[in-house]
Amino acid sequence: MITFITGNKHKVIEAENIFQIFGVKLEHIDLGYMEPQGTLEDVAKFGAKYACQELNKPAIVEDAGLFIKALNGFPGTYSSYVQDSLGNQNILKLMEGIDDRYAEFRSVIGYCAPNSEPKVFLGRVKGQIAHEERGNLGFAYDPLFLVPEVGKTFGELTTEEKNQFSHRRNSLEKFINWYVSQDDE
């Protein structure tokens, strides 16, 4: 059983589906905390350590962001705030006339157990910013994030399809593989 700290129900659904593949049960707790300014790794480490100390048991948190090359990595670590304040249409306006549409989603899992330092696991998926929103599945930037190999945006993919290769799948898989290997030691 893994305790996942998040207030985002979409992340819980994605994580539950991914953990199920590996036969790991997930407990969800919404434990709000102030996020420090810094990298995704900084936020994940801080959150995992805070949750572990508050609950006195191992916990994971996840922080993710959309990094757009032509915008110098914006919105990056501010993705959630930018989503809430600007939204997808304003991201598209910022991208008007820009040919290089490379972007990547990054996800960092922070894990901490009592009396230990937090560990982080980075996952990423490469793609492009579409020229318009496509699809009504997923959440946040999903309708903008085009995966060229698939020819669809995350917003056009079901949770199951997205979970085959998403940034969250990559970081959770790295974490689960590490976590399961700890039982062997």
Residues 15 and 172: beta-carbon distance below 8 Å: yes
Rg (C-alpha) for the chain, rounded Å, is 16
63, 100, 142, 183: the catalytic one is 63
CB contact set of 120 (below 8 Å; sequence gap of 6+): 41, 44, 45, 108, 109, 110, 111
Residues 97 and 118: beta-carbon distance below 8 Å: no
CB contact set of 114 (below 8 Å; sequence gap of 6+): 52, 53, 56, 57, 58
The verdict on whether 63 is a catalytic residue reads yes
* Angle between helix 9-21 and helix 167-184 axes, rounded to 10 deg: 50
AA identity, residue 22: F
128 vs 144: CA distance, rounded Å: 8
β strands within 69-150, DSSP E = 74-75, 102-112, 119-129, 145-147
The residues carrying an active-site annotation are 63
